[in-house]
Structure 1
């Protein structure tokens, strides 16, 4: 697979930012346009994290999709309590620049967004908030209830250096205190209740059977909420924990779902 690094000035963030773009075999700048899958990393990741998945190259080769890998480190791709405008960066700067520079299907039917953990939740938030931009979303172990978090539910796991969950301080520098305006804006259940009924969506969710109890519970809660609101979705619980090995094992099914539900023109 061919990986291109693109860098431009972000008006939303007020600085230079880079994304990685993965081009499928047969990509051409003219002719039939390509659907795009935006892949969002987990807490603390970057635009290279997805490239460490061993299955990614095969999935790119098997599906006619451009991948776009933005980065936000330990910040969510939202307009957060600290004044960082990562949502504006994503939906305006990233999507806009990609469609200027590449031969893409520039409509909601040709755009999908997916992610892992923090990225999986953000993929859902942005799809529900921007149904004019995205028609398909996917999540591996999405942290959907981050806006509802109180205290540190991961205290028993803090001795594990592999833990990818923010402390209370780090969480609140993005989300603000409990009850903040930012938390209310991104409350996933409010977003579902307020979504545009005229914009059909297709969502994919999975979670590991060995994941944290809270993570499994919030994924089941989201599955039930999607069902209650009549949102078309596919849901799976499969072997694995909260790690990139679990993500890698699920990539073929995620890519297949996306490719079935986006359109080439």
Structure 2
């Protein structure tokens, strides 16, 4: 695998953005490889997966490119008061990456995965653009942001969340994964995992129950674990294997 550190110009964000890329270095002429957009969590950035997991070593066993962009604390959202990170990650970034690297633009070859805040972002992207992404995975995802907002009322993060999502309720909007999951057509394949000691465990169980109730297919796994890199390093290996299952 080749590891490439990129600085790209985003016209959507009107700034330069950092993106890390892992890609096979023996790609044949006219070959287009599968691509996984791998998203970081809250407080993180584009370096997290390389610093805290063994993603490069695990990727050796899978012939795909892995794109790791910086989105900071945006919740992968077009912020009410801020930058349009959802448009950047879901639309502009794939166009730029496809112009720079020999990666496929076919739905069946495009995947998105993330941890915590990135789990929310991964599902939001795939459920908004199910014609572009065939599979999405969430590791300890913040899947019910409406509940998180209510839990942070009168706390230090309240104003931060309002700068992202605004003052109106999220339910039945483009930022609501429950609403998007019902609406998406075709349905992307979804993978959900969470540690049983994770503070987002109940959040994940609620989303799992919703998918079951509405007969939306998904794969779910859990095990003992907290909201940390020990869990995510173990489960990203499961995600990579799951991507190649028919």
TM-score by length of 1: 0.86
Larger relative contact order (Cα-Cα within 8 Å, sequence gap ≥ 6): 1
Q: CA shift at 1:71, angstroms?
A: 0.9
Relative to structure 1, the CA distance from residue 173 to residue 246 in structure 2 (aligned partners, 3 Å threshold; closer, same or farther) is same
Q: CA shift at 1:24, angstroms?
A: 2.9
Q: CA shift at 1:25, angstroms?
A: 5.2
Q: CA shift at 1:70, angstroms?
A: 0.6
2:230 matched residue in structure 1: 245
2:58 matched residue in structure 1: 59
In the TM superposition, 1:201-216 aligns within 5 A as 201-212=188-199, 215-216=200-201
Q: Which runs of 4+ in 1 moved over 4 A?
A: none
Residue deviations 1:184-204 (CA, integer Å, cap 9, x gap): 3211111122222xx142111
Task: Tell me the matched-pair count.
Answer: 245
Q: CA shift at 1:260, angstroms?
A: 2.4
Q: CA shift at 1:7, angstroms?
A: 2.2
Distance 2:37 2:146 in 1: 22
Relative to structure 1, the CA distance from residue 142 to residue 180 in structure 2 (aligned partners, 3 Å threshold; closer, same or farther) is closer
Q: CA shift at 1:93, angstroms?
A: 1.7
In the TM superposition, 1:71-220 aligns within 5 A as 71-148=70-147, 149-152=149-152, 167-179=157-169, 184-196=173-185, 199-212=186-199, 215-220=200-205
1:161 matched residue in structure 2: none
Structure 2: which 5+ runs fail to align?
none
Distance 2:230 2:223 in 1: 12
Q: Secondary structure at the match of 2:142?
A: coil
Q: CA shift at 1:154, angstroms?
A: 11
Q: CA shift at 1:92, angstroms?
A: 2.1
Structure 1: which 5+ runs fail to align?
156-165
In the TM superposition, 1:27-66 aligns within 5 A as 27-28=27-28, 30-66=29-65
